[in-house]
Structure 1
């Protein structure tokens, strides 16, 4: 962050803390360490970015409205969290937020850092599949975590993230999300979000976990590539309404922080139960293909380490970590 960005970030923080009350130019000048004229110039730059600022002579300034566009400042405005999102890295366009996240984590970015972009030109999902990340149409972000848990528990955070995202979407009318194992969010049996978790660890200690989330928000059907129109959807397609991406990100961060803190205190069992309440095809037959065999068996839930619980061809309980699953009946 350069000096100008740091000054502007501090300025907005002070205005946000003051809420609807005015704060004088002199008070801002002294708090930030710049002249009153420099404060005025910063206010004009904020107005160019779409902030609505009310200024009264001899009384001071206040922000009456933030632009709905995504930036580190607009995301911090009104974000009621204790630790998540205190550092936000925003880019208009990146290859992928995961790539930026890895570099930021290696450079010492703190626990709870958010990397968010308006567009990803090289977004990817599980198994290195492409993820189409249209500009200004969806939520493309990565979250840096430095949890004090064993590396063997890292998969639990992927499942936690899926439940948080499902719960956030579930609050909107006409959206009934489900989670397809392990971490795709479906609406009406079409994919609308994916989660990619990557970890850097040494022996029994996690250095950092990077959780990437891609959510289709305001795409129309024409915005989706023709080859995925039958398999993918967006919140707008499903509801015929446009959504504030900024608000969804803030709602996600608040919900994630609460869920993560509860997980650290209470363990994985509450997350497991919640995941299974959203689980796609829970209790129903799925088709399982392995290298040697193919069979139908019921999807019975998930294990503590994220494995798919089902039955073998002989009817015995088994856990699968990798297999080709046919979820949809032809």
Structure 2
């Protein structure tokens, strides 16, 4: 589970070579021109070309013509993530890339405890133990989804931590709807749905120190190019993917960039004290207020009508006898009116 780590800094030789090849738009560029442009030897060029090929870049080499970039891999590499990323904080710090890990939240928590800065990103091509809420697993096949976690260090009380999940749900829903055109909805507290089926999930976990919030790690699991038959049988009805909904494969890098940018913008609003605005956007993207639901929590079932979601992201449920319950988390089922 070795990670490749990249910080925001001046480009190294490999990155400058890749940028040059991209500028040529698939045309051959001679070794002499590369050597002059980058001020490196022919042997150094060959070494960096080999490294790029190992990462999945398809580069054609010709003794007479030089080098031409033929294909960029559909891998969540730091250089591809950064190219064109328009964010202030998130994704601009260190990026930790794993080919496979147990799950990105676990890695992010370890890094956060070690002092990783706010905005750091952990990304994996696949997860062997992907996690959802309440100890559930998240199906995470390699190369077919986005499994990413961002480290944040907001100044919050522990009681305000649920706001982070609602904030992220808004950013995720708006990014996906804008990018794909699909009718995205939010299911309280952390599910992202399309046509009633789960497309993505959010997992927020926190680290504390002296009863204060030290950091939060916010994980995203997004089903991108997973065929229906690849899902485990018990997930084929409740789950979906962009491949299923759109009928064709979807490039992952633009989706990840859209999520990072939307989260960055929403987190900026959040830090400026504009959670009321975020909550109003959340309510537009969900149908839960006014709905009759059942909530399963710690072996007990609560039923009633949702009155409100308060300023801390807590669901206010009115039971048939008029009792108001404050629900911080749980499994929600929509009941017939």
Give TM-score, length-normalised by structure 1.
Answer: 0.84
Q: Which residue of 1 aligns with 2:87?
A: 81
1:145 counterpart = 2:152: yes
SS in 2 for 1:165: helix
Cα 1:42–1:278 change in 2 (3 A) is same
SS in 1 for 2:105: helix
Q: 2:207 aligns with which of 194, 200, 203?
A: 200
How many residues are aligned here?
Answer: 324
Cα 1:315–1:2 change in 2 (3 A) is closer
Cα 1:263–1:323 change in 2 (3 A) is closer
Q: Which residue of 2 aligns with 1:72?
A: 78
Q: How far apart, in 1, do the equivalents of 2:103 and 2:210 lie?
A: 28
- Alignment deviations for residues 84-128 of structure 1 (CA, whole Å, 9 cap, x no partner): 213111111111111211222122221111111111110111111
1:234 counterpart = 2:236: no
| Runs of 5+ unmatched residues, structure 2 | none
Q: Which residue of 1 aligns with 2:182?
A: 175
- Equivalent residues in 2 for 1:7-156, closer than 5 Å: 10-11=12-13, 14=16, 20=23, 25=35, 28-29=38-39, 37-47=43-53, 49-51=55-57, 66-86=72-92, 87-156=94-163
Q: How far apart, in 1, do the equivalents of 2:5 and 2:327 lie?
A: 52
Cα 1:324–1:168 change in 2 (3 A) is closer
Q: Which residue of 1 aligns with 2:333?
A: 326
| Runs of 5+ unmatched residues, structure 1 | none
- C-alpha displacement at 1:312, in angstroms? 2.7
- C-alpha displacement at 1:257, in angstroms? 0.7
- C-alpha displacement at 1:246, in angstroms? 1.2
Cα 1:54–1:149 change in 2 (3 A) is farther
- Equivalent residues in 2 for 1:249-264, closer than 5 Å: 249-264=256-271
Give TM-score, length-normalised by structure 2.
Answer: 0.82
Report if the CA contact (8 A) 1:303-1:319 is conserved.
no
Q: Which residue of 2 aligns with 1:222?
A: 229
- C-alpha displacement at 1:310, in angstroms? 2.4
Cα 1:231–1:80 change in 2 (3 A) is same
